[in-house]
Amino acid sequence: MVLRLLHYADLEDTYDDPKQIGRMAGKITQLRDGQTVVIGAGDNIAPGALALTTNCQHTQPFFTAVDAVVDTLGNHDFDYGTDTLISVIRSTPQTWLCANAIKDGEHFGADAGIRPWTILERDNQRLGVFGLANPKTDTRSPGAQSLTFTDPIPAAVEAIEALRDRSVDHVLCVSHLGERSGHNDAIDLARKAAIDVILDGDLDDRPRIDWINDTLIVRTSGKGIDLSEIIYDGSWTATLHTVAEAAVSQTVEQQYQKHCRTVGINRVVGFVATPITCSIRTLFQGESRLGNFITDAYRCASNATVALQHSGGIQGITLQDTITVGDLIRLIPFEKAIAQVEITGSKLSEILASGGACHYPTHPEFWHLHMSGATVTFDYEERELINASVRGEPIDSSNTYSVVAPENFFRSHGVTVAAEHLVFDRQYEPLLDYVEAHDIAPQLEGRITRHGLEEIQ
């Protein structure tokens, strides 16, 4: 008997593009039959413009159309808080699995139906499926800070033992572990636990099919670009399918067109003659037109001297031609306020120096900060700030500077944010004001200079 699985992950803001989410639904409909198991591997709720403007009550039409069976919890699924996530889980048709998310000593969301594992029966075969979240979810998403995410390896071993005790024919892991050089990621899991198939998420545009020992590991690109088809017919095989040429599900497309009209995210608010690119290079390799645009908007919308934005807080969308409300939300789709705070020059220098911190060991050349009103020179060989200035003058450690940035950015640097410091409720709002009032043509101005890159590459 043939067992077929269809797997996707990291849909995130794909719902904001009705035709693309319609293509994904159409491709799944084309490939599946009545026995197919449709599986998500996390970050299929948030973030995005529809996610933010509907409080994540936008996913059900897609999940229902594709007959989703199981999903797990991605880090971005917590972006709007645990209450919002639980409300989505209660309203969607699939079973949500996570064996390593803990709240107050218990499995998170058990009363809402989140389970460590489940057993599915297809074609007289018993498929044991368990879910795993990224162990860093509580640090990657502020909405998950009230939870604890345990080591996925022991959680997997416990789930596998429970499933084997129930005489399953196959063990499948649905995870959102990503890739962290073999430490608590899908490859590490495959080396340490007896699993037939791992369907993973959080890889972002790096689709992979790997065999580690006897475990098949499959990852997709995310953003509704492709999905995987996994077949068991005496042995396991996997195929990646792109959806670019798929027939669009008209029903799904029309439902999301209506969603977009209802919340007004298609309203055109500006125009850009030269595309403002969002990519790994523009986010993490120093000064970029995108980073300058965002921080200029923050500074213009306030009376602050300096504006800052962390690279990891910007999502992957390129601005080109007409700019809509949805474009700006998708750029920074988080329900976090913008704050303006007075900080000392010594603290400002410390924050600016953090832009060159080695957060990702596999990418020591990354830069993690964008700025307006300030300039820096950073030495990567020594990992230190060579100089920093504000309005052309060196930062005076004893002076006080007015700085505007997302409130969670301040909190991550130990800066107290009081209610009177909040100047915008949501991060995209100053961008909206800026686009409606200005011609958008950011330029590179030498705000960030990096030395010593040759020695670390």
Query: What is the pLDDT at residue 53?
Result: 95
Any bridge partners for residue 8, and if so which? 40
Task: Report the helix count and the strand count for the chain, using DSSP H and E.
Answer: 14, 26
Distance CA 47, CA 13 (A): 6
Residue where the block lists tokens 């797990």: 72
Each of the 457 residues of the chain gets a pLDDT tens digit; together they read 689 999 999 999 999 999 999 999 999 999 999 899 999 999 999 999 999 999 999 999 999 999 999 999 999 999 999 999 999 999 999 999 999 999 999 999 999 999 999 999 998 899 999 999 999 999 888 899 999 999 999 999 999 999 999 999 999 999 999 876 567 789 999 999 999 999 999 977 778 899 999 999 999 999 999 999 999 999 999 999 999 999 999 999 999 999 999 999 999 999 999 999 999 999 999 999 999 999 999 999 998 999 999 999 998 789 999 999 999 999 999 888 999 999 999 999 999 999 999 888 888 999 999 999 999 999 999 999 999 999 999 999 999 999 999 999 999 999 999 999 999 999 999 999 999 999 999 999 999 999 999 877 6
**Residue extents of the structural domains in the chain:** 3-255, 267-451
Instruction: Give the DSSP per-residue string, 44-90.
Output: -S-SSHHHHHTTTTT-HHHHHHHT--EEE--GGGGTT-HHHHHHHHH
Cα pseudo-dihedral 158, 163, 167, 170, rounded to 10: -110
Token digits of residue 425: 């409720």
| Buried/exposed 342-375: b ≥16 CB within 10 Å, e otherwise | ebebebbbebbbebbeeeeeeebbbbbbbbbbbb
End-to-end C-alpha distance for the chain, whole angstroms: 51
Token pair of 114, please? 């989140």
Note the pLDDT of residue 298.
97
pLDDT single digits (tens) 45-70: 999 999 999 999 999 999 999 999 99
Q: Residue 14: what pLDDT?
A: 96
Architecture of domain 267-451: Alpha-Beta Complex (3.90)
112 sits in which H/E element: none
Task: Indicate the pairing of strand 125-132 with strand 117-122.
Answer: antiparallel
pLDDT at 206: 79
pLDDT for the residue 316 = 75
> So what's the pLDDT on residue 182?
60
Partners of residue 443 on adjacent β-strands: none
Q: What is the pLDDT of residue 317?
A: 87
For residue 152 the two structure tokens come to 């996925």
Q: Are 105 and 71 in contact (CB under 8 A)?
A: no
pTM above 0.75, yes or no: yes
Cα gap 177→153, rounded to integer Å: 11
Signed CA dihedral, 136, 139, 140, 141: sign only: positive
CA 251 – CA 28 distance, rounded (Å): 14
Q: Which residues pair with 270 in a beta bridge?
A: 323
pLDDT tens per residue, range 69-98:
999 999 999 999 999 999 999 999 999 999
**Top-level class of domain 3-255:** alpha beta
3-state secondary structure of 143: helix
